Amino acid sequence: MNGPHDLGGRAGFGRVTPEAETPVFHAPWEARAMALTVACNALGYFTIDARRHARERLPHTTYLTSSYYRIWILALERQLQDAGVLSPAELAGGAVSVPPDAAARRLAPDRVAAMLASGGPVARPASAPARFVPGQWVRLRNHQPEGHTRLPAYARDKTGVIEHVHGVHVYPDTNAHDGGEAPQWVYTVVFDAATLWGADADPDLSVTIDAFEPYLDPA
């Protein structure tokens, strides 16, 4: 979807200023926000793509005026309410009024390290051959999806060349909406800067984007 999360190529938001690697969290509540999110992920009510889409659906003013982990918490609150795990009254009161489902999945403390180390693999077996090959010119589709997509707005309707074929992976555009994994081929597409940013772009700059096959058409 088009929203405040997709800022690539937009002017007026200032320079990107990288921070030092430490400290990881700016305040103790940020560590707690991450821990809550990881614990709730283990419940199995939503996928990583659904979590991203929940953050994208926050009101624009809320998103743009919130810190990174506040965005996480606001989206998590919404998803837990949508899943029926948390009621608005419980959220407002700060206390549980209905006991949780005893059969629900839980992330035991002694499993946290192993779970984080294993990550969330999304590679899947191929069911059809890849449509494109390295060296082939492609155009990214100019679509305006209502739902989640991993195609950045600044690359829509732009032409680039396939550099690498990565194999088949879970397709976020369906996985975010309970539409199943629908695995798709993923390609690295290279663009010259002028194609993306215009004649004033650095002539020595190129940009690579990993794009799912449904995003691409032959150029």
Residues of the chain with CATH 1.10.472.20: 28-118
Which regions of the chain are under pLDDT 50?
none
Q: For a pLDDT cut of 70, what percent of the chain falls above it? A: 99
* Predicted local distance difference test score (pLDDT) of residue 48: 92
* Predicted local distance difference test score (pLDDT) of residue 99: 79
* CA angle (24 as vertex; 19, 30 as ends), nearest 5: 115
* Predicted local distance difference test score (pLDDT) of residue 78: 93
Q: Which residues contact 215 (CB under 8 A, 6 or more apart)?
A: 140, 141, 143, 149, 151
Residues of the chain with CATH 2.30.30.50: 123-218
Query: How far, in Å, CA of 101 to CA of 36, rounded?
Result: 17
Query: What tens digit of pLDDT does each residue of 179-214 get?
Result: 999 999 999 999 999 999 999 899 999 999 999 999
pTM higher than 0.85 for the full model?
yes
* Predicted local distance difference test score (pLDDT) of residue 102: 66
Cα–Cα nearest to 145, from 174, 185, 170: 174
Fold classification of 28-118 is Cyclin A; domain 1 (1.10.472)
Annotate 148-163 with DSSP letters as a single string.
Answer: ---S-GGGTT-EEEEE
Q: Do 195 and 171 form a contact (C-beta atoms < 8 A)?
A: no
CATH of domain 123-218: 2.30.30.50
Query: How far, in Å, CA of 180 to CA of 171, rounded?
Result: 8
